[in-house]
Amino acid sequence: MSRPVSRVLTLLELLQAGGVRTVADLAGRLGVAERTVRRYVDHLIDLDVPVESVRGRYGGYRLAPGHRMPPLMLTDDEALAVLLGLVSGRRTGLTAAADAAGETAAAKIRRVLPERLRRRLDAVLDSVAFTAPPAESAAPETAVLLPVADAVRHHRPVAMRYTGGRGGDGERTLYPYGLVAHAGRWYVTGRDLSVGADRTFRLDRVAGVRILPGSFEPPAGPDPAERVLTALATAPYRHAVTVWVQGTAEEIRTRLPGSVAIVGAEAPGPGGVSGGAGAGAARSAPEPETWSRVEMRVERLDWLPGVLASLDRPFAVERPEELRDLVADFAGRLMDSARRTPPHG
């Protein structure tokens, strides 16, 4: 009797998903009798595939732990997901390895795909565009990311060597709370025992990670992503900016990312708004009572008028005074542009 190759390969795919699969489950998935499943397993063993038989109430079949299975078997959807993940990781800066690693991995996957599927996937990858890539990406070394991730999962302290943005190496001992990938960079946030305070570190500046004995209990409070965004928004840049924006804190947070601004207390509308500095201050509709305090730390002020205007909400500048002049100049340029007629060629 000829071997039903497609069902044997399907059995291999089911076993590659991991764990112990009962004979009854496999028979149901393949649509065959249980003794046929056993015959298919014998076929795989004849092909040197290490299928193990597990006895007992929950027994069945599994692949030998740690065995790397050729050939790679992917459906169209799975192959597209894997290759898109490799390409998007490389283009958005989230690949935690050298660029060559992503390229060689994609090449290996392409080599084992059928020609029909490879041509279709190449068509997708050649035509897809990724918008808003990070200005710069800084992927960490795999030898750094993997032990830090393991320490986060198991709540273990780590020792590491960190180079700050202004230079200078230093040994740090950290209770790592979590990993965050943001704007092409990887961060770890946790308790820095060297200074006795919570800190956020860029992983591309970390080297020599060692997991230490012992464990710790992560504190309650903000999740790692919120901690990183707050640290970025409160970095010691040149200008401390405070504005009041009409709307609830929740509404404003949907318009200003946490890495840019800290949206804090709500209060009744500030005085002087009706004729104040807000780009949208003069409106015929009655204004709601709720306004939200927005704080930012920025190196330059020139880009803020456009951001504030894009909120499409009344706002009032509390500090610095220089920002008021920039908003007024920006509004004047917009007015001039609104009145200007297009050139005729």
Place of tokens 């009041």: 244
The pTM assigned to this predicted structure is: 0.45
Residue 246 lies in a domain: yes
Q: What is the CATH number of the domain that holds 22?
A: 1.10.10.10
What pLDDT sits at residue 44?
85
**Are both 112 and 201 inside the same structural domain?**
no
Domain range enclosing 294: 239-336
Read off the pLDDT of residues 233-274 as tens digits, 9 standing for 90 and up.
555 667 888 899 888 888 888 887 766 778 877 776 655 444
Residue 135 lies in a domain: no
**Are both 198 and 249 inside the same structural domain?**
no
Taking residue 102's Cβ as centre, other Cβ atoms within 10 Å add up to 19
Taking CA atoms, 128 is separated from 77, 124, 305, in Å, by: 16, 6, 33
Residue 93 lies in a domain: yes
Residue 158 lies in a domain: yes
Q: Residue 297's beta-bridge partner residues? A: 240
Average pLDDT over residues 97-109: 65
Q: Residue 172's beta-bridge partner residues? A: 160
Taking residue 170's Cβ as centre, other Cβ atoms within 10 Å add up to 10
Q: What is the CATH number of the domain that holds 260?
A: 3.30.70
Contacts of 13 (CB under 8 A, 6+ apart): 73
Task: Place 168 in a pLDDT band, splitting at 50, 70 and 90.
Answer: low
pLDDT above 90 (res 108): no
Which range (16-30, 115-129, 289-303) has the least confidence?
115-129
Cα dihedral 226, 207, 147, 67 sign: positive
Taking CA atoms, 235 is separated from 231, 232, 317, in Å, by: 6, 5, 20
What is d(CA 298, CA 121) in angstroms, rounded to the nearest whole number?
A: 43
Backbone angles phi, psi at 21, to 5 degrees: -110, 125
**Are both 314 and 264 inside the same structural domain?**
yes
Number of structural domains found in the chain: 4
What is d(CA 223, CA 105) in angstroms, rounded to the nearest whole number?
A: 33
Residue 157 lies in a domain: yes
Instruction: Report the candidate in 337, 272, 333, 275 with the shortest Cα–Cα distance to residue 305.
Output: 333
Task: Place 281 in a pLDDT band, splitting at 50, 70 and 90.
Answer: very low
pLDDT above 50 (res 185): yes
Tokens for 230, please give them.
Answer: 């707050």
**Are both 260 and 285 inside the same structural domain?**
yes
Residue 233 lies in a domain: no
Q: Distance from CA of residue 43 to its chain's centroid?
A: 43
